[in-house]
Amino acid sequence: MKFRHYREGFLLALLVGSIAIAGWTALPLAMPLLWAGILAILLHPLVEWLARHTARWVAASLGVLLVVGVGVVPLVLVSGLALREAMAVYSSFFPQGGSDNTASGSVGAAVQWLASLLAPYGITESEISSRLGEAFAGAAAFVLNSLVAAGQFTFSFLLQTAVMLYLLFFFLKDGKRLIDWLIYVLPLGDHYERRLFADFATTARAVLKGTLAVALAQGALGGVAFWLAGVPAPVLWGIAMTFFALIPSVGPAIIWAPVGAVLALTGNWLGATIVLGAGVGVISVIDNVLRPLLVGRDLGIPDPVVFVATLGGIATFGLSGFVLGPLAFAFARTMIGVMTDLYRDALHHNT
């Protein structure tokens, strides 16, 4: 009996140790693995439908091509446009490579408007330009360092994207067998394991279809409105609005509302009407129309919890945290439900 316990303990230690080493080895590929799994969940119904009409590997290949055409290629193109706009904005502050700290172009017009407001307080346009020059001189080093790091980021992004697409093909092709194997080997019981995987899939679909789709729609519409209003760098503004739209209770109004107000104060009534009209009439209501349509009640997490999960996820995991945060909270909710079911009698007895 003692030998049996010793053997079982030794096997358990080997099992835990081997899984820990394998997880530590795969840790650098955590993000490609995560996104391959999430995209496989999202594309599963389409691939299953395609698999009924063609070979499964062909269906999986078509799913990967869909991700490349709809996701990767537009992301690369938009990133290129955003980089060019960033350089243009930088040049508007430093038309001579940073040697002149007097703002020019649209920035200069804004400085003149601000100087007219502050003139009663004895603040001149040259003083404002000087202060701006000092502030942006410090930002110059950051911009230049970011441009140097852009090449490294691009290489890392392309490498991780290639790994993600490779894994996505096999997840789409053999994902069902992988899930069945995990349900077989995990010790919770098939019912709870299927519930765990189902909740994970539901949450991933809800976050991607609801949060990401709504954020992209709001950012795209905001960028178009800024372009029609003649606001410089509309792609950059659109990306910024997309990012803030990912955060519940914040939204893209933090961008379009001040920009619309500045346009109105500077006398650009047409631009202000376009930006504020699009913000109030389209961008602000799109969340109330698209999110229930795409998500419904799938997520099942109160808005304050979603807010904490999203912000905490972004702070902890970077941009992918807008998915990881809600997934972590949904996983915790599911495990609490499993524990409640397993120990319902004991919990009831303690009360």
Question: Residue 285 domain-assigned?
Answer: yes
Q: Kindly state whether residues 134 and 207 are assigned to the same domain.
A: no
- Cβ contact 191:86 at 8 Å: no
Residues 213/246, Cβ–Cβ less than 8 Å: no
User: In this predicted structure, what is the pLDDT of residue 99?
Assistant: 45
pLDDT tops 80 at residue 144: no
pLDDT-based confidence at 166, cuts 50/70/90?
Answer: very high
Q: pLDDT per residue over 209-227, tens digit each?
A: 777 788 888 888 988 998 8
Determine the structural domain holding residue 59 and report its residue range: 28-185
**Does 206 lie in the same domain as 116?**
no
58: part of which helix (H) or strand (E)?
helix 56-67
Both 33 and 175 in a single domain?
Answer: yes
pLDDT score for 295: 54
Q: Residue 56: how many CB atoms within 10 A of its CB?
A: 16
169 with 270, same domain: the answer is no
Same domain assignment for residues 126 and 210: no
pLDDT at 102: 47
Please tell me whether residues 318 and 196 are part of one structural domain: yes
Q: Which of 228, 210, 230 is nearest to 310 (CA)?
A: 210
Q: Is residue 6, in this structure, part of any structural domain at all?
A: no
Q: Is the pLDDT of residue 149 over 60?
A: no
Quick check: is 51 in a domain? yes
pLDDT at 48 over 80: yes
Q: What is the mean pLDDT of residues 177-186?
A: 79
Select from 189, 247, 192 the least CA-distant residue to 215.
247
Residue 74 pLDDT exceeds 70 = yes
Domain's final residue, options 185, 214, 235? 185
Segment 147-152 shows an average pLDDT of 51
Using alpha carbons, list the distances in angstroms from residue 148 to 34, 91, 143, 144.
28, 17, 9, 6
Residue 4 lies in a domain: no
Q: What is the pLDDT of residues 331-347, one digit of tens each?
A: 787 778 777 777 766 55
Give the Cβ contact number of residue 211 at 10 Å.
24
Helix or strand or coil: residue 99?
coil
175 plus 194 within the same structural domain: no
Q: Which of 153, 168, 185 is the last residue of a domain?
A: 185
- Gap between the Cα atoms of 207 and 210, Å rounded: 5
**Mean pLDDT of the 141-156 span:** 54
Output DSSP code: residue 253.
Answer: H
Give the best-scoring range by mean pLDDT among 114-128, 145-159, 228-242.
228-242
Q: Check whether residue 196 and residue 180 sit in a common domain.
A: no
Question: Which pairs from 110-119 meet CB under 8 Å and 24+ separation?
Answer: 110/262, 110/266, 113/265, 113/266
Q: What is the pLDDT of residue 302?
A: 67
Please give the mean pLDDT across all residues of the chain.
75
228 vs 95, more confident: 228
Higher pLDDT, 322 or 128: 322
Task: Kindly state whether residue 308 falls inside one of the protein's structural domains.
Answer: yes
Best mean pLDDT range from 45-59, 191-205, 236-250:
45-59
Backbone angles phi, psi at 103, to 5 degrees: -70, 150
Predicted confidence band at 94 (pLDDT cuts at 50, 70, 90)? low
pLDDT at residue 65 tops 90: yes
| DSSP letter string, 132-182 | HHHHHHHHHHHHHHHHHHHHHHHHHHHHHHHHHHHHHHHHHHHHHHHHHHH
Compute the distance between CA of residue 100 and CA of residue 62 in angstroms, rounded to an integer.
53
Give the H/E segment covering residue 320: none
Residue where a domain terminates, one of 185, 201, 226:
185
Does 21 map to a domain? no
Instruction: Tell me, yes or no, whether 145 and 202 share the same domain.
Output: no
Q: Which of 58-67, 180-189, 298-307 has the lowest mean pLDDT?
A: 298-307
Question: Of 166-170, 290-294, 325-329, which range is least confident?
Answer: 290-294
Residues 176 and 325 in one domain: no
Q: What is the mean pLDDT of residues 56-67?
A: 90
Instruction: Specify if 12 maps to a domain.
Output: no
Let me know whether 243 and 198 are in one domain: yes
Same domain, 63 and 166: yes
Where residue 159 falls among pLDDT bands split at 50, 70, 90? Answer: confident
As for how many domains the chain has, the answer is: 2
- In angstroms, the first-to-last Cα distance of the chain is 38
